[in-house]
Structure 1
Amino acid sequence: MFKHCVIVFLVSMVPLIELRGAIPYGVVYDLPLWLTYIIAIAGNILPVPIIYLFARRVLLWGKDKKLIGRFFTFCLEKGEKAGRKLQAKAGRGLYWALLLFVGIPLPGTGAWTGTLAASLLDMDFKKSVLACMGGVLLAGAIMGALSLLGVSVFGG
């Protein structure tokens, strides 16, 4: 059981997969949903302040490097594009839009992309982190419900 808890924690920290993959993993391996939820939330929230404070600096530093430049440029462009799109649609409700962007578990959304977008847009640190954390809680609840539904529907 401990091994699966560690895997849930680590998977929830992986960009693009995050808790969208971690919660179903925990449910499939018969971890209690409440435990899976708590572990996945902790793992997904942990990188948020670090991403906000350091991701832009690291990506800007690495975009001109030979081996990592293309990937870092891709990440910068994805974050900037997501940020501009979010800002254009949200207007004054930008932080609520950020919460929903992170909270609705679709491909390309999540804590990593949302936090990077907030950082690239120079949004307020505290409000951005709180919006991303709220989004992670929402995404966790949605994935928990979908995982339970999937397990009961497919007999797992």
Structure 2
Amino acid sequence: MSVENFLVEMLASVPHWLAVMVIGAIPVSELRGAIPVALGIYGMEPVEAYFLSVIGNLIPVIPLLLFLEPVSGYLRRYRIFDIFFTWLFSRTRRNHTKNFEKYGLLALTLFVAIPLPVTGAWTGCAAAFVFGIRFKHSFPAIAAGVLIAGVIVTVVTLTGIGLAELILGA
């Protein structure tokens, strides 16, 4: 069973608009899961699916950007978390510093905009924290990336649904 199907079953008693927002807010699915569910399972109009998914995906961004630093600082008191965060931050800096130095906030926007696993708003917030990008700069960059990713996922999903209907003769 896919993550999206599991979430749809878990949210069966919730109104569809709210289910789409919740799916969009969850880090394992974000809008990459919410838009296909909204269009393919709930039969929503593309504009409605897009906006509900984007809003859902942006809801956790503000608390993540504001609270990652204090939560990380608190958890670093414990050796296992200190080891984990040290590894994560050094790995992230090693793999992405060149792009962030070269492209700045555009790199953050593009990173969030690419609708692939391990890219998205949640990971963008972590990257903004690791690179010390302040909220007033990181939020607009992440929001722009979410908007772009939403357009890409909507177009790809609609294309896929159209092809499926053409092939199946629906």
Common fold by TM > 0.5: yes
Gap change, CA 1:81 and 1:133, over 3 Å in 2: farther
Deviation, 1:86, is 2.9
Q: Which residue is 1:113 aligned to?
A: 123
Which structure has more relative contact order (CA 8 Å, sep 6+)? It is 1
1:93 counterpart = 2:103: yes
Aligned-partner Cα distance in 1 for 2:145–2:34? 16
- AA of the residue aligned to 1:126: K
Q: Is the 8 A contact 2:92 2:130 kept in 1?
A: no
More off after superposition, 32-41 vs 43-52: 43-52
Number of matched pairs: 152
Equivalent of 1:102 in 97, 112, 115: 112
Gap change, CA 1:42 and 1:57, over 3 Å in 2: same
Q: Which residue is 1:139 aligned to?
A: 149
* Overall identity of the aligned pairs, in %: 33
- AA of the residue aligned to 2:26: V
Equivalent of 1:48 in 46, 61, 71: 61
For structure 1, the residue ranges without an aligned partner over 5 or more in a row are none
Alignment of 1:1-150 (within 5 A): 3-28=15-40, 29-62=42-75, 77-78=87-88, 81-82=91-92, 84-150=94-160
Deviation, 1:43, is 0.9
- AA of the residue aligned to 2:137: K
- AA of the residue aligned to 1:146: V
Deviation, 1:150, is 0.9
Aligned-partner Cα distance in 1 for 2:26–2:100? 27
Deviation, 1:46, is 1.6
Deviation, 1:101, is 0.2
Aligned-partner Cα distance in 1 for 2:121–2:21? 14
Q: Which has the larger radius of gyration?
A: 2
Aligned-partner Cα distance in 1 for 2:87–2:38? 33
For structure 2, the residue ranges without an aligned partner over 5 or more in a row are 1-13
Deviation, 1:60, is 3.6
Aligned-partner Cα distance in 2 for 1:124–1:103? 19
Q: Over aligned residue pairs, what C-alpha RMSD do you find?
A: 2.4
Aligned-partner Cα distance in 2 for 1:110–1:44? 9
Deviations 1:13-58 (A, max 9, x none): 0013100000000001201110011111111112112111102322
TM-score by structure 1 length? 0.85
Q: Is the 8 A contact 1:79 1:113 kept in 2?
A: no
Q: Is the 8 A contact 1:101 1:110 kept in 2?
A: yes
Task: Report runs of 4+ in structure 1 exceeding 6 Å deviation.
Answer: none
TM-score by structure 2 length? 0.78
Aligned-partner Cα distance in 2 for 1:78–1:17? 21
